[in-house]
Amino acid sequence: MECFFKPKAVAVIGATPNKAKGGYSILKNLSLGFKGGIYPVNPRYDEIENIKCYSSVADIKKPVDLAIIFIPARFVPAVVEACADNNISGVIIESGGFAESGAEGKAFQKELVRIASTKKIRIWGPNCIGLVDAVNKNVFSFASPVMWKVGLAPGNVSLIVQSGMLAGGFLLDTISHGTMGISKVCSIGNKSDVDECDLLEYMLDDKDTKAIGLYLESISDGARFLNLCRRSKKPIVVVKGGKSKQGAQAAMSHTASLAGNRAVIKSTLASAGVIETKDFKQMMDYCRALAIYSKLPESFTGKIAVLTYSGGAGIVSTDYIEEMGLTLAEFQNETISRLKTVFPDWMPASNPVDLWPAVEQNGPAKTFEVAIDAVCQDPGVEAILLHASTGNAVMDLDMKKMSEKVKKSGRLMFCWLLGTIDAAKRFHIDTQKHGVPVYRELYRSVECINGVFSRHKYIKDIKEYEKHTYPGKIPENLLAGKTYESLIFDEFDSKAVLKKCNIKTVEEEIVLSGQGAEESANKIGFPVVLKGLIKGSAHKTEKGLVRLNIGTGENAKLNFAELQKGVGANGKIIVQKQLKDGLELIIGFFRDPQFGPCVMFGLGGVFAEIIEDVEFATAPLSMGSALHLISRIKSEKLLNGFRGAKKLDRNEMAKILVSLGNLGCCYSTIKEIDINPLIVTDGIPIVVDANIIFQQTVEK
């Protein structure tokens, strides 16, 4: 990637003096910032912008690291091959007309893929606006040179954006408002070779990048992407486009039907510590906060003091704080005493702190100074949400002095701002220079506080969870010895496989007669369940093949006779111990087309597909990732015991998830494993029903 980010010389193929063309903008942007050699290439001109122009790449006799190409698509493959022959390490193709445009364009792009794989050259694009590096003033893009007049403000947030014009919009919007600096903006377009994983890997080691935002419509290598996110010490924020449930339409099992693209993407990103946002401004705002507060003290949990000039705004802030799982700090007596030194006698001091009566009595400078001092000395306060108003002399604040005091105390500070347009812009820019993120919407302010604390919690949780280890070793030749004509193992055969993987299953037996059903029921102990199993079918309840609460041997015999009619000559009937009522869970394994092998965990039973409280993680799992997966379901509180029930043994549950993931990864013939329900009995999860579904006939 060095040839793209740190080239010593750049060729511009398609350079032109026509200011209405992209080839001109590329050359102009280079001349305004790039410090290395610049070589325009266009056979029509001897020079452009007082720079010598070359007829072809081959005519450039000096070393060139990077070529930027902006010519019609039909000419591009030959030019890229010429660049490779001239020892150019990388090309950025900014012209369109490739896979996004039809059959001919797809053929051009296919040829680019061939060249990248056979020649020693990396290809960025096509159909993109390239790279803008505001820190090093390297603009390798046809983005309008007007950005230089507006001001290319350097910052510490880098963006990787799949849409070219969206990347340009990000850039112009950000720099023209002046409220956020940028390190790098990378538009990757059609991703014929260089993709988001290549760029993300580079950003993880880039000293100029503190937080990374991505807009992606697809993920080229899901497993690699998630691995990079997991090992990242820098916060990563993603807007993912193109999420749908189409992948679940042909589901054979509960697992597959719950694993729609949207659910898997959201959950697997969360499992890797990625913060997913819904829109582009939200992504930028999160990145801004996370770049400033990328590392928090270990003890922080999200206790906030709100300093406001409006009682109503304080109440709404409290609502948002509670909604997002954060906490209003409880002030110590000393803090309240300090606040009372500026409050009127009739005014109580509490959190949120309504400072307006104190401002009327003492002025803003003294009031806010005392308030900041008070909350910064309170050990129960970790972050401060400051409500500010500007454009009104009554509320002028010394943000430099206040921010220094907060920083010295080890607290965080976020600012919600209202004010007149010009004054607010100045306040916004100046305050962020002091390391305080500023937002124009109150909800977004609290959202970004939550984003910072959520990432901190993820890091702490994973660190704690990874103290637990479990190999989850899978026996060799587990599926050997038999040919299975059906693609679905029935419940009995599936649980036989799971037992060999040290996964606890309910006690059960196959019975061949009514007398056998009675004897097995007496041996297992009442109440029992009788189930009919049909070859090649995953579900039984819908077909009336499950009989619960059988309390006598005679009833077992009668139900056997009825089930025998339903399953036919090739079916099976099993007698199973009926576990006492307990929390029902669902787990599963499947192969996602984007992320590969995945494990699912969630609330189970007959309502699994209605409630859809499930989470996903890629396999194989460590104990840490399994424990984190368990903690992410919305109904997590149920796992801690409900109405007198014993809480779930999370370590035992995590071991099952580790083993399940290992089983699916060890045997490539396994397409899905569906386990629903696991019933939590005395804290231990026990498999009650299961099916293993194969991609092809198993024959070992």
The CATH number that applies at residue 23 is 3.40.50.720
pLDDT at 250 over 50: no
pLDDT at 249: 41
pLDDT at 476: 87
pLDDT at 175: 67
| Residue 502 belongs to a domain | no
Q: What is the mean pLDDT of residues 137-145?
A: 91
Question: Do residues 114 and 161 both lie within one domain?
Answer: yes
pLDDT at 202 over 50: yes
pLDDT at 171: 66
pLDDT at 247 over 60: no
Task: Work out whether strand 412-419 and strand 353-354 pair parallel, antiparallel, or are unpaired.
Answer: unpaired
CA 545/CA 549 separation, integer angstroms = 14
Q: What is the CATH number of the domain that holds 678?
A: 3.30.470.20
Burial of 412 (0-12, 13-18, 19+ CB in 10 A): buried
pLDDT at 164: 60
pLDDT at 485: 60
CA 518/CA 668 separation, integer angstroms = 40
CA 335/CA 362 separation, integer angstroms = 18
Cis check: omega of the bond before 72, within 30 degrees of 0: no
pLDDT at 643: 72
| Residue 525 belongs to a domain | yes
| Residue 135 belongs to a domain | yes
Residues 6+ apart with CB under 8 A from 607: none
Per cent of the chain over pLDDT 90 is 76
pLDDT band at 353, cuts 50/70/90?
very high
CA 303/CA 411 separation, integer angstroms = 10
Q: Which of 209, 243, 274 is the last residue of a domain?
A: 209
DSSP letters along 399-464, please?
Answer: HHHHHHHHHHHT-EEEEEEEE-HHHHHHHHHHHHHTT--EESSHHHHHHHHHHHHHHHHHHHHHHH
Strand partners, 328: 304
| Residue 541 belongs to a domain | yes
Q: Which two tokens stand for residue 532?
A: 């009919």
Highest mean pLDDT among 475-479, 606-610, 616-620: 616-620
| Residue 615 belongs to a domain | yes
Q: What is the pLDDT of residues 14-44, one digit of tens each?
A: 999 999 999 999 999 999 999 999 999 999 9
pLDDT at 483: 55
Nearest residue to 506 via CA among 578, 560, 563: 578
Which backbone phi and psi does 133 adopt, to 5 degrees? -110, 100
pLDDT at 639 over 60: yes
Q: What angle do CA 529, 530, 531 make, to 5 degrees?
A: 120
CA 695/CA 618 separation, integer angstroms = 19
pLDDT at 547: 94
CA 324/CA 451 separation, integer angstroms = 10
CA 410 distance to own-chain centroid: 28
- Interaxial angle between packed helices 364-376 and 333-340, expressed in degrees from 0 to 180 and rounded to the nearest 10: 170
Strand partners, 674: 588, 691
Asked if 598 contacts 592 with a C-beta cutoff of 8 angstroms, the reply is yes
CA 660/CA 589 separation, integer angstroms = 7
pTM of the model: 0.89
Question: Do residues 178 and 324 both lie within one domain?
Answer: no
Q: What is the mean pLDDT of residues 654-666?
A: 96
- Scanning 136-260, the segments in alpha helix (DSSP H) are 146-150, 164-177, 196-204, 222-231, 254-258
Highest mean pLDDT among 174-188, 236-250, 381-395, 402-416: 402-416
pLDDT at 608: 73
| Residue 404 belongs to a domain | yes
Q: Which two tokens stand for residue 697?
A: 């006939």
Computed over every residue of the chain, the mean pLDDT equals: 90
Asked if 227 contacts 201 with a C-beta cutoff of 8 angstroms, the reply is no
Question: Do residues 417 and 518 both lie within one domain?
Answer: no
Task: Work out whether strand 182-187 and strand 130-133 pair parallel, antiparallel, or are unpaired.
Answer: antiparallel
Which residue matches tokens 């037996």?
509
- 79 vs 241 pLDDT, higher one: 79
| Residue 225 belongs to a domain | no
Residues 6+ apart with CB under 8 A from 154: 134, 135, 181, 182, 183, 208
Handedness of CA 493, 494, 496, 497 (dihedral sign): positive
pLDDT at 553: 94
pLDDT at 35: 95
CA 343/CA 659 separation, integer angstroms = 61
pLDDT at 487: 83
Q: Which of 436, 458, 483 is the last residue of a domain?
A: 436
pLDDT band at 661, cuts 50/70/90?
very high
CA 203/CA 291 separation, integer angstroms = 13
Question: Do residues 556 and 599 both lie within one domain?
Answer: no
Q: Which of 49-63, 303-317, 489-503, 608-622 has the lowest mean pLDDT?
A: 608-622
C-alpha dihedral, 381 to 384 to 387 to 388, nearest 10°: 130
CA 333/CA 16 separation, integer angstroms = 71
Question: Do residues 98 and 178 both lie within one domain?
Answer: yes
Question: Do residues 150 and 28 both lie within one domain?
Answer: yes
CA 443/CA 316 separation, integer angstroms = 9
- 445 vs 250 pLDDT, higher one: 445
The total of structural domains in the chain comes to 4
Q: What is the CATH number of the domain that holds 425?
A: 3.40.50.261
pLDDT band at 594, cuts 50/70/90?
confident
pLDDT at 696: 67
Per cent of the chain over pLDDT 70 is 93
Question: Do residues 540 and 609 both lie within one domain?
Answer: no
Reduced to 3 DSSP states, what percent helix, strand and coil does the chain have, rounded to the nearest 5? 40, 25, 35
Q: What is the CATH number of the domain that holds 515?
A: 3.30.1490.20
Question: Do residues 38 and 183 both lie within one domain?
Answer: yes
Asked if 391 contacts 423 with a C-beta cutoff of 8 angstroms, the reply is yes
Question: Do residues 149 and 91 both lie within one domain?
Answer: yes
Question: Do residues 550 and 667 both lie within one domain?
Answer: no
Q: What is the mean pLDDT of residues 516-544?
A: 89
Asked if 621 contacts 658 with a C-beta cutoff of 8 angstroms, the reply is yes
Highest mean pLDDT among 8-12, 168-172, 214-218: 8-12
Question: Do residues 552 and 513 both lie within one domain?
Answer: yes
| Residue 229 belongs to a domain | no
Domain that holds residue 114: 2-209
Q: Which of 180, 209, 238 is the last residue of a domain?
A: 209
DSSP letters along 8-69, please?
Answer: SEEEEET--S-TTSHHHHHHHHHHHH--SEEEEE-TT-SEETTEE-BSSGGG--S--SEEEE
CA 320/CA 487 separation, integer angstroms = 50
Question: Do residues 31 and 70 both lie within one domain?
Answer: yes
Which backbone phi and psi does 505 adopt, to 5 degrees? -125, 160
Q: What is the b/e burial string over 361-384, where b = at least 16 CB atoms within 10 angstroms of the residue's CB? A: ebebeebbbbbbbbbbebeebbbb
Q: State the chain's maximal CA–CA distance in angstroms.
A: 101
Other residues' Cβ atoms within 10 Å of the Cβ of residue 526: 15
